[in-house]
Structure 1
Amino acid sequence: MAVTLPRPHRDDARIALAGLLGGLLVWGAGLGSRPADEQVVLWPGQWPILLPLAVMTGCELLRRTRPRSALLIGTAALTLDTLTQGNLVTVVMFTDLVYATVVYGPPATARRVLWTSGLSTVVGAVVPFAVWRVPEALLIGVVIGIVVFTPAATGWVVRNHRDIAVAERLRAEQTALLAEIDRAQAVTAERARMARELHDMVANHLSAIAIHSTAALSLDDPATSKDALTVIRENSVEGLAEMRRLIGILRDDSGDREPAAAPTLGGLDALAESARTNGLDVALDAVHDSRLPAPVELAAYRIVQESLTNALKHASPGRVTVTLAQLDGSLTVRVTSPYGDRDGPRAPGSGAGLVGMRERVALLNGTFEAGPEVSGRAKVWTVRATLPITHRTVGGTE
């Protein structure tokens, strides 16, 4: 099967053409590297000079695509050139092949060429001097160093700078990718946070509206309908106010306005009273430190709020108990409601409330449980969340 050589790089083609033209110009001027009567010249005359020149030109076409092959063939061409009167351009092109092999060749080849050229330079200087004992013998090592070691060392420096540049570019790309991932995660987390806030703030009011509107439509009692419409109006106004506040936070990107105060556990009494207005029998028992971290207070408040909303939609008739207790560096929130004697929910739900509560607790590295359990002879639905409290988050000190 025929072997297809890779297409030469355009710069390599230009270098090869320039070398060929320069070599022909030197050849045409009759400028050989050595006189015809020198002892090493086995093929005197002008025409033998063209063969190594042509071979070296062909090697230049492969300097980037096949650097090792080009160097091996170029070494043979340089050896052949030394048996003729020689052409300086052929030697210059060989130095370029050494440089290209170190720059574009495999790392192992680059190191091998560098060490071999350095060793050749030392041997080329020491051995002739040791044999002939004349200072002029050191010039052989100098010439070898100029022809072989200097381009190899230059190529090694260029290769190192190129590798460093590539590594820096890859590091910059990785940094940009990580920044984009962080940004996407931040956007996702913010969207999830806003979804939880929107659900927790509005779902309670909308659930009460749905339940009382159903009662107003199903009962033909003016007094009952009036009471239901009163509750509907109160929840509509409060829900609309909450919605406007949230939309204002989303639209206000100037940073001039102070952020709206997050609800705290001090508002649990008002929250329980609102649930009683909506028809729940709520018993609140909250014992906790008045200086809890703001994230813990917000999470506990939202968990109680969502639990009351779920009780309003799903609980059977009976008492809903809300208990908050602080013990051993954590705040435990427990909400129980009667469970199991209702045909269906009083208002539709999507299950997003439980997901939101679980996410809030997970963000604080707490534990969350929700499900039916037996309490005495009754079956109740229990929501239990344990929120860790660290001293660092209270007052900002240990």
Structure 2
Amino acid sequence: MQREASWAGLAFVGGLLLIVGGAYTHREVPEGWLAVPLALVCLGVVVRQRAPLVGLALGTVGIGVDLVVGPSLPTVLIFTDNVYAAALYGPASFSRWLLGAATVLSVLAGGVTGVLSGDWRALAVNGIQAGLVLVTPVTTAMVLRQQREQAAAERARAEQVARLAELDREAAIATERTRMARELHDMIANHFSAIAIQSTGALSRTDLSAAAVRKIMESVRENSLKGLAEMRTMIGLLRQEGDEAETTRPRLADAESLVERSRRAGMAADFRVEGESRELSPAVDLAGYRILQEALTNALKHGGRSAVVKVVYESGQVTVAVDNPVDKPVSNPVDGRPALPLAAEVFPGDGAGLVPGAGAGLVGMRERAVLVGGSFEAGVDGGLWRVKAVLPMPKDRKGQWEAG
């Protein structure tokens, strides 16, 4: 407001100087009267942004008075700013209406003066002058207004794109954290669950022979080394640059090694492969391996004396299933505490409570199956705890990577 008032004051002073210099049509009117319309159009400059329509009304009154007593050049020039401000800062619909009105008035002004003077040249000159005073400010304001609105729309669009990019980044980070948590859980839980079960069992038994203790320690050492090796592999993948595939990734074809590891931990496991083993996509291969690994870990921690593992290759899918009996804990005859798997001497009882779980196993298995387009189910069925994952598999060699 202060800036507009300053410009209005300068315009008024400059207008007075032009009037004193004779920049007006001389009529039988005192020169001082020309300051009145000049003051009105200058007041329109003061409110040009806050109340552009009021400014146009003041300017219209001012130019009307000026046409009677003058007209004067400064009043006409400042009136063009009143028209410009109304078209730029007023409602968009009003600016369109104002353009039409200004065009009609320009044509009428030229026509009336031409008819009254009887000279077609007066029609052209006055029509062009009226167009410069009325139409030009409106069209200029409308062009600038359109550019401002377009710039504002581009800024809004850029902010929206930036926000969407930030949301995508946050979602990608959350997805990657979930994937890393799932990988670390599945990678470490199998080895360290076996270590915890065997070490706790060894501490709970006082009647073990040196050979049995040595066998347990060998299994503990083996699980420790394999767990560390898989941790180093994970760290290497996190440090790796680019999108090169892991050449030593776990494969469902290595399922027998997982079963053998469970056997060495003390669980009697029956492993069966049905159908013709086929190449799987990396994602399905890893999902099947990790689901089987976690299911065997849960069977070792919470299951009964044995487990039946099946990998069934069918047309368009591969099924991974693990069944283990849900038995009561086998009590230690010495102190009455639950017995734990100790190498091949003792079958596993219920290790729940001795090896607490985080509750992420079933969630992780289900996530892995769903992420590759498969299905997962787990629950008690006739005295058996049954885990079953059905994963998609290409029907021919040509489409073998479609599932990934």
Is the TM-score greater than 0.5?
yes
- Aligned equivalent of 2:103: 118
- Are residue 366 (structure 1) and residue 378 (structure 2) matched? no
- Aligned equivalent of 2:251: 264
Which of 129, 146, 151 is equivalent to 2:137?
A: 151
Residues 128 and 138 of structure 1 are in contact (CA less than 8 Å); yes or no, is this contact kept in structure 2? no
Alpha-carbon distance, 1:266 to partner: 1.6
Secondary structure of the residue that 1:36 maps to in structure 2? coil
Task: Report the residue type matching 2:251 in the other structure.
Answer: T
- Aligned equivalent of 1:36: 27
Counterpart CA distance in 1 for 2:372 and 2:240 is 27
- Aligned equivalent of 2:308: 321
CA distance 1:88–1:157, shift in 2 (3 Å): same
Alpha-carbon distance, 1:215 to partner: 1.2
Counterpart CA distance in 2 for 1:95 and 1:340 is 95
- Are residue 394 (structure 1) and residue 400 (structure 2) matched? yes
Counterpart CA distance in 2 for 1:307 and 1:299 is 12
Unaligned runs of 5+ in 2: 330-349
TM-score, with structure 1 as normaliser: 0.87
Within a 5 Å distance, the mapping from 1:335-374 to structure 2 comes to 335-342=322-329, 345=352, 346-374=354-382
Q: Deviations over 1:334-386 (max 9, x none)?
A: 22221252465151101111111122122223222222122xxxx11112222
Alpha-carbon distance, 1:203 to partner: 0.6
- Aligned equivalent of 2:60: 75
Which of 206, 223, 226 is equivalent to 2:192?
A: 206
Alpha-carbon distance, 1:238 to partner: 0.8
Alpha-carbon distance, 1:288 to partner: 5.0
CA distance 1:78–1:312, shift in 2 (3 Å): same
Which of 36, 39, 49 is equivalent to 1:64?
A: 49
- Aligned equivalent of 2:239: 251
- Are residue 217 (structure 1) and residue 209 (structure 2) matched? no
- Aligned equivalent of 2:343: none
Counterpart CA distance in 2 for 1:132 and 1:223 is 129
Counterpart CA distance in 1 for 2:61 and 2:234 is 81
Counterpart CA distance in 2 for 1:80 and 1:59 is 15
CA distance 1:23–1:272, shift in 2 (3 Å): same
Task: Report the residue type matching 2:270 in the other structure.
Answer: A
Residues 37 and 65 of structure 2 are in contact (CA less than 8 Å); yes or no, is this contact kept in structure 1? yes
- Are residue 279 (structure 1) and residue 266 (structure 2) matched? yes
Within a 5 Å distance, the mapping from 1:71-220 to structure 2 comes to 71-126=56-111, 128-129=113-114, 134-135=119-120, 136-220=122-206
Counterpart CA distance in 1 for 2:115 and 2:37 is 32
- Aligned equivalent of 1:40: none
Residues 368 and 384 of structure 1 are in contact (CA less than 8 Å); yes or no, is this contact kept in structure 2? yes
Higher mean C-alpha deviation, range 52-61 or range 326-335: 326-335
Q: Deviations over 1:178-202 (max 9, x none)?
A: 1111111111111111111111111
Alpha-carbon distance, 1:127 to partner: 5.2
Q: Report the aligned-residue RMSD.
A: 2.4
Residues 216 and 229 of structure 1 are in contact (CA less than 8 Å); yes or no, is this contact kept in structure 2? no
Counterpart CA distance in 2 for 1:60 and 1:360 is 69
- Aligned equivalent of 1:25: 17
CA distance 1:134–1:187, shift in 2 (3 Å): same
Counterpart CA distance in 2 for 1:297 and 1:257 is 17
Residues 32 and 85 of structure 1 are in contact (CA less than 8 Å); yes or no, is this contact kept in structure 2? no
Secondary structure of the residue that 2:71 maps to in structure 1? coil
Which of 287, 310, 321 is equivalent to 1:334?
A: 321
Residues 323 and 385 of structure 2 are in contact (CA less than 8 Å); yes or no, is this contact kept in structure 1? yes
Secondary structure of the residue that 2:69 maps to in structure 1? coil
Task: Report the residue type matching 1:386 in the other structure.
Answer: V
Task: Report the residue type matching 2:391 in the other structure.
Answer: L
Count residues with an aligned counterpart: 376
Counterpart CA distance in 2 for 1:393 and 1:19 is 79
Alpha-carbon distance, 1:132 to partner: 6.1
CA distance 1:103–1:285, shift in 2 (3 Å): farther
CA distance 1:230–1:51, shift in 2 (3 Å): same
Counterpart CA distance in 2 for 1:130 and 1:86 is 20
CA distance 1:166–1:214, shift in 2 (3 Å): same
Counterpart CA distance in 2 for 1:129 and 1:373 is 103
CA distance 1:393–1:105, shift in 2 (3 Å): farther
Unaligned runs of 5+ in 1: 1-7, 38-43
- Aligned equivalent of 2:8: 16
Using CA pairs under 8 Å that are at least 6 residues apart, name the structure with larger relative contact order, 1 or 2: 2
Counterpart CA distance in 2 for 1:256 and 1:340 is 46
Q: Deviations over 1:202-261 (max 9, x none)?
A: 1101100100001111112133322221111111111111112212222344x5987453
- Are residue 307 (structure 1) and residue 295 (structure 2) matched? yes
Residues 317 and 393 of structure 2 are in contact (CA less than 8 Å); yes or no, is this contact kept in structure 1? yes
Task: Report the residue type matching 2:151 in the other structure.
Answer: A
